[in-house]
């Protein structure tokens, strides 16, 4: 896979290290030899406790006057690449006869004649060079050159690109993002080959020095939002970024909200689709979750498949998901409200059978519900931690045996089991995992309200949720748009999914600078406009 | 002014100010006044609000960019302006409390007969405080969103209308004296209370030219919803029977039985909670905003928290539903007077002082 590199930054020499920048060309002088020895000594001292740092001494081109020191991390590089393209050519390099053994010419010659790797840079800054070495690059120190040659040989172990567990699809690409940021960026590039796709890099985390990239399409994404995201990312001051979730929690608008305000995805096609709506992506090294900002609420009900299948099927699935969402959030609390506050609402035949089933259960419905919710949540937590083979057994033991035994021992009524089972299944219909986590919290909130105030509590609780959603903004985009504020143009692709050829304009909810997405080729031409 | 609403949101904000507790008892009130001509009373009742809206818009458009408090202080002088603001704040607080109380009475009757009234008031008011404290931008969006979501529930009554309605219940037309009609216009005018908030909201509208159009449209939509409610209720029950029910609109829903759901009016009540909480919140917001501006405070949410116990206490005060209805009648009267006198006074001052138009152009 092709590597994408940012241009080397201009490096300033640090004050602790004095470089003699005016190395006189021509003969090998004492200064540069001195630099080599001093720096080698310093490197040995600084890296003395690091067992995985390899320092390899060699003579370039077999010339015993050309001492060189190769430093790299043994675990983070591609050893075959290092041997074949760096060490072997360096030692057998033959193009160095007849040139001066120091200064600019020597550097040029080594870079252009001896090193056979793709990305080679030159830096004079000791500290940044050390950091680059720890990011998996190799550094070469040559007698006669007052600086470091840095070359990319990073490789080592990488996870195979596979289908992500959390976003399984029937149609569309099976690829999912992996941990390596460059591979992920490359995957997005494979979907969008537009040169206007910009990738900017940041290093966040004092100690972790994690690469964080933002990607956007220049001339499509709104520059204000791009600047805002950059500003917020630069403001992060933390020792280490271990997952993209850290970035998410640092830059989201309302950290107290239970709703995800950035859209996380493991799928490159979904990431590309977000880019094409004028959003930007935040890609973090070591994390397969790429975040798109800004995000709006309805997007969490949309799956990429909605677009790949015919629009009728897409719209149908979206409506199913909305209903499932409502059942997941409201199902249990409505059951509690009905049985304990408003039994007159239940049709009489059903009420009789409910009463018969509940007769032996000693608890009020809310306790029943909390017992069952707790059991389901515990089973779910355990299911995530356990190995797949055991998780299956757990499902059977937990789900079937426990449920059956709970009914037989009159701990819960069968109706409650049905309600809990339906709400739990409905919870997983949503295509986004973060949203399913929010639903769990909303569910508990509404259960408590309905247990105390019945339908009134549910209605007020729902209102609070709606008010909260209306208040939320994600990078100055209202979270509940295109419904509040209403933008009718966007409703063609929100809960409904109109045919692709009708969505010729990009959604107005997300600020962008290029409105045309497609041309409607099905419009009748020649017969005049209608 | 940093926060603005679109003219579309002004429509929905005004509708939500007007459409609240009144809609449930409106058929009874109008039927009591003019019998089978109840629908005519709805139309006549819209006249005073229309005049008020026109006057308010006139005042606001003469002095663009000024909030309500700045406007009154500029036209009436510093102290007189503060008094005018105080009159409005008191109105908003009482209106908010009265609507909340009637709202709570419905909850008591249909959903929670045993829970203490104060607890229900406090809970409902907490939600509306959350809504009011969110600021005008969010309020505008919410009013719009809840309108789309909840107004369709009005039409659950269509099956019973189709089954039982008899158009003859509306006959004979124009069978009352002129005095009756003018009295009916006044009493139904109460149902429109909330329109006077336009003078607070109008300065925040993005496109000033569309303000009047939006406000009138809001009035027309409200009138149509009221007409629909009154006509359906009267054609099903007849004018005589309509007067017997406290909440005829909800009774209409209980006429039809829909399979699976034993009593459809519950769905309507739950949806209606979302409808009725909006005038409470909007009035609450108006009171909070004016107080905030008068004292030059920065945070709206602090004012909202301060107002909370006051509104809760006023809402709790009526001993029974009869006094609660009288309180809401008082609010209706106050609204009509305030809605016409205040803009008229301000317009007069504006013309006398000659400020405004000449300077702005």
Q: What angle is formed at CA A369 by the lines to CA A364 and CA A375, rounded to 5 degrees? A: 135
Q: Tell me what pLDDT residue A527 has.
A: 47
pLDDT tens-digit readout, B177-217 = 888 888 888 888 888 888 889 999 988 888 888 889 999 99
- Exposed / middle / buried, residue B14 (Cβ in 10 Å: 0-12, 13-18, 19+): buried
Cα-Cα-Cα-Cα dihedral sign, residues A523, A524, A528, A529: negative
Q: Tell me what pLDDT residue B86 has.
A: 93
Tokens of A52: 């995985």
φ, ψ at A504 (rounded to 5°):
-85, -15
Helix (H) / strand (E) element for A290: namely: strand A290-293
Q: Tell me what pLDDT residue B96 has.
A: 93
Q: What angle is formed at CA A352 by the lines to CA A349 and CA A353, rounded to 5 degrees? A: 90
Q: Tell me what pLDDT residue B262 has.
A: 64
Put simply, the answer to whether A344 touches B263 (Cβ < 8 Å) is yes
Give which of A215, A216, A214, A232 is closest to A476, Cα–Cα.
A232
Helix (H) / strand (E) element for A370: namely: helix A365-385
- CA–CA distance, A92 with B35 (Å, rounded to integer): 109
Pick out chain B residues at pLDDT < 50: 1, 356-361
Burial profile B172-189: b = 16 or more Cβ within 10 angstroms, e = fewer: eeeebeeeebebbbbbbb
Q: Tell me what pLDDT residue B258 has.
A: 67
Give which of A75, A71, A36 is closest to A57, Cα–Cα.
A71
For residue A378, is it left (φ>0), alpha (ψ between -120 and 50) or beta? alpha
- CA–CA distance, A501 with A499 (Å, rounded to integer): 5
Q: Tell me what pLDDT residue A514 has.
A: 85
Q: Tell me what pLDDT residue B350 has.
A: 87
C-alpha distances (whole Å) from B264 to each of B25, B123, B252, B253 are: 18, 25, 10, 6
Q: A322-326: long-range contacts at Cβ-Cβ below 8 A with a sequence spacing of 24 or more?
A: A322/A495, A324/A426, A324/A427, A324/A429, A324/A430, A325/A301, A325/A426, A325/A429, A325/A430, A325/A439
| Cis peptide upstream of residue A290 (ω within 30 degrees of 0) | no
Looking at A2-112, which runs of residues are DSSP E strands?
53-59, 67-73
Put simply, the answer to whether A470 touches B9 (Cβ < 8 Å) is no
Q: How many CB atoms lie within 10 A of CB A429?
A: 18
Residues of chain B with Cβ-Cβ distance to A480 below 8 Å are 141, 145
φ, ψ at A455 (rounded to 5°):
-65, -30
Tokens of B101: 């109380």
Three-class secondary structure assignment of B279-304 = HHHHHHHHHHHHHHHHCCCCCHHHHH
Each domain of chain B, given as residue ranges in start order, spans: 7-346
Residue to mutate among A351, A354, A457, A485, with most B CBs inside 10 A, is: A485
CA A243 to chain centre: 8
B182 close contact with A: CB closer than 8 A: no
Residues of chain A with Cβ-Cβ distance to B270 below 8 Å are 455, 458-459
B111 close contact with A: CB closer than 8 A: yes
Residues of chain B with Cβ-Cβ distance to A467 below 8 Å are 127, 130-131, 134, 138, 142
Q: Tell me what pLDDT residue B88 has.
A: 93
For residue A231, is it left (φ>0), alpha (ψ between -120 and 50) or beta? alpha
* Chain A contacts in chain B segment 7-46 (CB below 8 A): 8-9
- CA–CA distance, A502 with A17 (Å, rounded to integer): 63
Residues of chain B with Cβ-Cβ distance to A486 below 8 Å are 8, 144-145, 148
Q: What is the mean pLDDT of each run of 10 residues along chain A (530 residues)?
A: 43 41 45 82 88 89 86 87 88 77 81 86 89 88 88 80 84 89 92 93 91 93 93 93 93 93 92 92 93 92 89 92 93 91 83 84 88 88 82 80 86 89 90 89 93 92 94 91 84 85 86 85 57
Q: What angle is formed at CA A224 by the lines to CA A219 and CA A230, rounded to 5 degrees? A: 100
Question: In DSSP terms, which residues pair with B205 in a beta bridge?
Answer: B5
pLDDT tens-digit readout, B295-305 = 988 889 899 99
Residue of A nearest to B259 (CA): A347
Could you name the CATH architecture of B7-346? Answer: Up-down Bundle (1.20)
Helix (H) / strand (E) element for A213: namely: strand A210-217
Residue A208, SS3? coil
- CA–CA distance, A215 with B128 (Å, rounded to integer): 41
Q: Tell me what pLDDT residue A271 has.
A: 94
Q: Tell me what pLDDT residue A145 has.
A: 86
Put simply, the answer to whether B124 touches A460 (Cβ < 8 Å) is yes
C-alpha distances (whole Å) from A307 to each of A426, A487, A501, A523 are: 22, 21, 11, 20
Q: Tell me what pLDDT residue B94 has.
A: 94
Interface predicted TM-score (ipTM) of this complex, two decimals: 0.91
């Amino acid at each position: 896979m092709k590597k994408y590199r940012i241009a080397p930054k201009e490096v300033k020499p640090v004050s602790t290290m004095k470089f003699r920048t005016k190395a006189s060309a021509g003969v090998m002088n004492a200064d540069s030899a001195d630099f080599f020895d001093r720096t080698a000594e310093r490197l040995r001292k600084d890296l003395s406790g690091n067992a995985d740092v390899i320092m390899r001494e060699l003579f370039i081109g077999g010339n015993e006057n050309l001492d060189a020191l190769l430093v790299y991390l043994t675990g983070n590089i591609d050893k075959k690449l290092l041997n074949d393209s760096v060490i072997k050519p360096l030692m057998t390099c033959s193009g160095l006869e007849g040139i001066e053994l120091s200064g600019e010419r020597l550097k040029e010659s080594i870079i252009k004649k001896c090193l056979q790797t793709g990305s080679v840079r030159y830096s004079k800054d000791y500290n940044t060079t050390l950091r680059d070495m720890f990011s998996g690059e190799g550094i070469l120190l040559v007698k006669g050159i007052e600086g470091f040659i840095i070359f990319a040989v990073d490789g080592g172990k990488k996870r195979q690109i596979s289908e992500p567990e959390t976003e399984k699809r029937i149609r569309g690409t099976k690829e999912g993002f992996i941990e390596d940021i460059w591979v992920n960026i490359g995957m997005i590039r494979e979907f969008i080959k537009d040169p206007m796709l910009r990738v900017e890099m940041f290093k966040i985390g004092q100690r972790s020095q994690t690469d964080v990239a933002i990607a956007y399409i220049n001339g499509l994404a709104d520059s204000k939002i791009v600047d805002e995201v950059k500003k917020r990312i630069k403001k992060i001051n933390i020792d280490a970024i271990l997952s993209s979730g850290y970035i998410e929690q640092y830059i989201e608008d309302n950290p107290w909200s239970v709703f995800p305000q950035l859209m996380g995805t493991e799928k490159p096609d979904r990431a590309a689709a977000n880019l094409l709506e004028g959003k930007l992506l935040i890609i973090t090294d070591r994390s397969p979750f790429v975040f798109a900002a800004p995000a709006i609420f309805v997007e969490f009900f949309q799956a990429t498949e909605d677009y790949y299948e015919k629009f009728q099927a897409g719209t149908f699935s979206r409506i199913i998901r909305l209903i499932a969402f409502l059942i997941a959030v409201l199902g249990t609390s409505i059951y509690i409200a009905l049985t304990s506050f408003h039994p007159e609402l239940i049709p009489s035949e059903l009420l009789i059978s409910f009463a018969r089933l509940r007769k032996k259960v000693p608890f009020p419905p809310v306790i029943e519900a909390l017992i069952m919710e707790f059991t389901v949540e515990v089973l779910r937590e355990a299911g995530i931690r356990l190995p797949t083979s055991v998780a299956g057994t757990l499902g059977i033991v937990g789900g079937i045996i426990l449920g059956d035994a709970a009914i037989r021992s009159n701990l819960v009524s069968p109706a409650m089991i049905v309600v809990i089972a339906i709400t739990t299944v409905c919870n997983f219909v949503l295509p986004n995992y973060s949203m399913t986590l929010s639903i769990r919290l909303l569910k508990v909130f509404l259960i408590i309200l309905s247990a105390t105030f019945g339908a009134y509590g549910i209605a007020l609780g729902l209102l609070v949720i709606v008010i909260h959603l209306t208040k939320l903004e994600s990078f100055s985009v209202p979270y509940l748009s295109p419904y509040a504020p209403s933008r009718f143009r966007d409703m063609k692709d929100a809960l409904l999914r109109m045919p692709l050829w009708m969505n010729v304009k990009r959604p107005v909810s997300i600020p962008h600078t290029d409105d045309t997405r497609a041309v409607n080729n099905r419009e009748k031409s020649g017969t005049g406009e209608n | 002014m940093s926060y603005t609403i679109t003219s579309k949101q002004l429509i929905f904000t005004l509708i939500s100010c007007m459409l609240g507790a009144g809609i449930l008892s409106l058929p009874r009130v109008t039927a009591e006044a003019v019998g089978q001509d109840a629908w005519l009373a709805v139309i006549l009742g819209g006249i005073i609000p229309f005049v008020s809206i026109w006057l308010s818009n006139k005042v606001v458009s003469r002095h663009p960019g000024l909030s309500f408090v700045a406007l009154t202080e500029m036209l009436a002088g510093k102290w007189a302006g503060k008094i005018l603001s105080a009159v409005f704040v008191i109105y908003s607080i009482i209106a908010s409390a009265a609507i909340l109380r009637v709202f709570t009475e419905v909850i008591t009757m249909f959903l929670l007969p045993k829970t203490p009234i104060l607890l229900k008031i406090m809970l409902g008011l907490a939600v509306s405080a959350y809504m009011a404290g969110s600021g005008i931008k969010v309020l505008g969006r919410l009013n719009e969103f809840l309108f789309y979501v909840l107004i369709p529930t009005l039409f659950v009554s269509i099956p019973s209308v189709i089954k039982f309605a008899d158009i003859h219940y509306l006959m004979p037309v124009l069978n009352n004296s002129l005095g009756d009609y003018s009295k009916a216009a006044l009493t139904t005018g109460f149902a429109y209370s909330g329109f006077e908030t336009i003078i607070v909201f109008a300065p925040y509208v993005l496109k000033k030219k569309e303000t009047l159009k939006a406000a009138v449209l809001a009035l027309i939509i409200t009138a149509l919803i009221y007409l629909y409610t009154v006509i359906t209720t009267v054609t099903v029950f007849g004018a005589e029977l309509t007067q017997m029910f406290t909440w005829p609109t909800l009774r209409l829903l209980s006429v039809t039985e829909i399979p699976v759901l034993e009593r459809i009016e519950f769905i309507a009540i739950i949806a209606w909670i979302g409808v009725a909480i909006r005038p409470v919140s909007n009035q609450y917001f108006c009171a909070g905003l004016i107080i905030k501006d008068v004292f030059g405070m920065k945070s709206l949410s602090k004012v909202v928290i301060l107002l909370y116990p006051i509104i809760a206490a006023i809402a709790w005060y009526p001993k029974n539903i009869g006094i609660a209805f009288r309180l809401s009648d008082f609010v209706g009267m106050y609204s009509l007077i305030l809605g016409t006198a205040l803009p008229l006074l301000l317009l007069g001052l504006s013309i006398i002082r000659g400020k405004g138009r000449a300077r702005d152009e």
